Amino acid sequence: MGAIIEVRDFSMRFGDLTVIDHLSFDVLEGETFGLLGSNGSGKTTTIRALLDIYQPTGGSLNIEGHPFNPSQSARLGYLPEERGLYQKESVIDLMTYFGRLKGLSRRDAQAWSMRYLTEVGLPDKARVRLDKLSGGQQQKVQLGVTIMNDPAILILDEPTKGFDPVTRRLLLDLLDRQKARGSTIVFISHQMDEVERLCDRILLLKDGRAEAYGTIPEVQDKYGGRRIRLEFIGDLPASELYTPVVHERNYAELDFGEDTDPDQVLRDLLDAGVRIRSYDLTRISMEEVFLRVYGADAVKEA
């Protein structure tokens, strides 16, 4: 898989404030890529610069080999963090307009819109004005506009923010479908369960710089490596091999580094008289990674 998005040495300053500082990363064709970070870390700025809404102070941001141009919009679906649609228009007129802007003929745009509205249970709302729809129905229309014409690249900034559970489920199903079709998905989120479930690779931004970049296991390994979850009887001894991050009466989670053999950890516990009822080997969650990188305050803000 080649890189479909290439960001090289990208910097962005607003006045004296440096928001992004020499950032480089690639998004590979067909992968789901997570762009993570606390509020103000520069995620949305990076996406806006990638889509030519902001002009970068330095560096280059390319989609399919060159800076983004609106003529590429036919292959791109974008769901911004701040989102909305023309409230006074009918659903079908609105969707047809965006379809036309994405290069479809009027007839094709209307046909695609009606298929989508039928799929999401809104075929009878086609002629209804958007401001007459419920919040959840408007969100479905917004999603339809984003994935209009099955784009090759989807860029979603906090896609589930403000969505009700039904629309959130619909979004996740649509993403699965788009991924199965080979679309590349760039995903900004604070929902670490979604990130773990959907993303192939991630970039953690902190203060405008790449804090971590790679597959989810690679990033998890960087911030604590592996973990043994243990149900036991007896007293858990102190050891240099591991660090207990959870320690209850008969349950513990022990973190250990890359250099430590987990078999050695279990042998030491048995030697100390601990009766092990069950165990499994896992990695620390992305939520904990987030906590370690940005601190508890940032997690609360997110």
Partner 1 sequence: MGGHNFRTVVTFEFLRTVTKRRFWVMSLSIPLLLALVVTLTTISSRSQNPTATSTAFAFQYHDASGLVTPQLAKAFGVTPTTDPATAVAAVRAGTLPAFFDIPADVGTAPVQVYGEDVGLIGNSRYDSVAQALVRAAVAQKIGDPRLARLAASGAQVTSTIYNKGAAVSGFASVVLPGIFLVLFYLSIVMLGQQMLNVTLEEKQNRVSEMILTTMSPTTLIIGKVIALVGVGILQALVFSLPVLIARLVAPGTVHIPGLSLSDIPIDPLRIGFGFVIFLFSFAMFAGFLVAIGAVMPTIRDASGAFSAVVVTMFVPLYAVQLVVNEPHALLPTVFTYFPLTAPVTALLRNALGTLSWYEAAIVVVVLAVMSTVMLRVGVRLFQTGSISYTSRVNIREALRRNR
User: In terms of CB distance, is 162 or 237 closer to partner 1?
Assistant: 162
Site stretch for partner 1 (CB under 8 A), options 29-37, 90-98, 249-257, 294-302:
90-98
162 vs 273 by CB, closer to partner 1 = 162
- Return the SS3 of 204: strand
> What is the per-residue DSSP string for 214-250?
EEHHHHHHHTT-EEEEEEEES-PPP-SS-EEEEE-SS
Structure tokens at 129: 């004005």
- Kindly state the tokens that stand for 44: 């949305």
Least distance from partner 1 to the Cβ atom of residue 15, Å: 6
Binding positions for partner 1, 94-153, rule CB under 8 A: 97-98, 100-103, 145-146
Query: Is position 70 an interface residue for partner 1 (rule: CB under 8 A)?
Result: yes
Q: Counting contacts by CB under 8 A, is residue 85 touching partner 1?
A: yes
Give the range of 34-42, 44-52, 210-218, 277-285 binding partner 1 by CB under 8 A: 44-52
DSSP state of 103: T
Query: Taking CB under 8 A as the criterion, which residues in 188-207 touch partner 1?
Result: none
Give the span between the Cα atoms of 287 and 206, in whole angstroms: 15
68 binds partner 1 per the rule CB under 8 A: yes
- Based on the shown chain and the rule CB under 8 A, indicate whether residue 54 belongs to the binding site for partner 1: yes
First to last CA, the chain: 33
For partner 1, the binding residue among 1, 53, 270, 272 (CB under 8 A) is: 53
Least Å distance, CB 155 to partner 1, is 9
CA-nearest of 183, 216, 210, 235 to 288 is 216
Of 103 and 273, which CB lies nearer to partner 1 in the complex structure? 103
- Kindly tell me which residue out of 1, 2, 65, 88 binds partner 1, with binding defined by CB under 8 A: 88
Supply the minimum distance, in Å, between the C-beta of residue 109 and partner 1.
10
Q: Are 186 and 155 in contact (CB under 8 A)?
A: yes
Query: Residue 228 in contact with residue 280, Cβ under 8 Å?
Result: yes
- In sequence order, the 6+-apart residues with CB closer than 8 A to the CB of 280 are 228, 229
Among 29, 64, 93, 268, binds partner 1 (CB under 8 A): 93
